[in-house]
């Protein structure tokens, strides 16, 4: 899939057009992903591990279809190119898929989404620890603020008896940050086959944890397949496509739409109201991530 473009006066594709299309794709993908919380809250009786299983299974099948479409006769070669870095990245991605569902089923959507919004901050921290990238002052301040905000939400989880769910959200955000670092370390890794590995890993873990009991109602199955096979798959593909024409800071800022809209949907549709501590902590994390992204974009334009 290519981003649409038009020719400028010199006959070359307009950079502004590429960026504009990428922005729209990213916002749309983030809005799609924000439906996760309301889909989980709409489940009838499926257990957390059954949700993980069917969502991950559907995602693995759907992304495999995209990989086949892209490579056709070279599909076998593309899958054989999956090496140690892809397997490691897939493991981290699989843990992310598991952790996020466990977070949504054991704490509020706001707690889960606000914690997940700190992914860029964790990524910057791990890039310093693993890749040796220099931590600028703005990044250090953003990390400190995000940790403080997450600390408030964890404290709220202790008080509300949802500490496990909050911890799973933290695990999911840390795991996804590790996934990003592995992709950057491996450099030539194709994200789509790696995502298939991660979804397959989550499927196997969920089947084991559910002790083979994966039978759910038709309604719950439809919601899981919609979430994994359509929403998550399409959003993942759009983000991969848009990332070719956006800086990391721009992508980070636009993806915050997902973590802002997620709590809004459950508040409007099922009246799930986050606590004051969750709102305070979430506001700190969102402000830290958004502020860091804006300062990074400003620094890029000045160089």
Residue-wise pLDDT for 71-121, tens only, equals 665 656 666 666 788 888 899 999 999 999 999 999 999 999 999 999 988
SS (H, E, C) 43-103: CCCCCHHHHHHHHHHHHHHHHHHHHHHHHHHHHHHHHHCCCHHHHHHHHHHHHHHHHHHHH
Domain boundaries, the chain: 36-301
Place of tokens 């559910």: 210
Closest C-alpha to 52, from 206, 186, 158: 206
As a whole number of angstroms, the distance between CA 164 and CA 178 comes to 21
Sequence length of the chain is 303
Residue-wise pLDDT for 16-68, tens only, equals 556 778 888 889 999 999 999 999 999 999 999 999 999 999 999 999 888 78
Q: Is 241 exposed, middle or buried (0-12, 13-18, 19+ CB in 10 A)?
A: middle
Cite the DSSP H helix spans in the chain.
15-33, 36-41, 48-71, 75-80, 84-106, 109-116, 119-131, 137-160, 163-186, 191-209, 218-225, 233-242, 248-270, 276-301
Contact 155, 276 (CB under 8 A): no
**What's this model's pTM, rounded to 2 decimal places?**
0.86
Residue-wise pLDDT for 141-151, tens only, equals 888 999 899 99
């Amino acid at each position: 899939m290519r981003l649409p473009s038009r020719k400028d006066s010199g006959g070359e594709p307009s950079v502004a057009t590429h960026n504009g299309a990428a922005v729209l794709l990213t916002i749309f993908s983030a809005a799609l992903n924000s439906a996760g919380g309301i889909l989980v809250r709409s489940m009838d009786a499926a257990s957390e591990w059954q949700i993980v299983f069917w969502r991950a299974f559907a995602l693995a099948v759907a992304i495999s279809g995209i990989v086949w479409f892209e490579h056709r006769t070279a599909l076998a070669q593309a899958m054989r190119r999956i090496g140690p870095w892809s397997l490691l990245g897939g493991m981290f991605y699989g843990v992310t898929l598991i952790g996020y569902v466990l977070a949504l089923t054991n704490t509020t959507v706001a707690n889960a989404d606000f914690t997940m919004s700190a992914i860029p901050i964790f990524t910057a921290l791990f890039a310093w620890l693993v890749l040796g990238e220099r931590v600028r002052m703005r990044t250090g301040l953003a990390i400190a603020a995000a940790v403080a905000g997450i600390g408030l939400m964890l404290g709220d989880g202790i008080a509300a008896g949802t500490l496990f769910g909050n911890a799973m959200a933290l695990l999911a955000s840390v795991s996804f940050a590790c996934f990003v670092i592995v992709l950057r370390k491996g450099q030539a890794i194709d994200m789509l086959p790696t995502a298939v590995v991660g979804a397959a890993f989550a499927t196997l873990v969920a089947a084991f944890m559910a002790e083979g009991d994966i039978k759910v109602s038709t309604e719950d199955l439809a919601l899981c397949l919609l979430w994994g096979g359509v929403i998550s798959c399409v959003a993942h593909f759009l983000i991969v496509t848009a990332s070719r024409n956006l800086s990391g800071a721009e992508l980070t800022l636009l993806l915050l739409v997902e973590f802002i809209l997620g709590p809004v949907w459950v508040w409007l549709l099922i009246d799930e109201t986050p606590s004051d501590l969750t709102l305070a902590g979430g506001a700190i994390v969102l402000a830290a991530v958004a502020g860091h992204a804006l300062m990074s974009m400003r620094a890029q334009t000045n160089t």
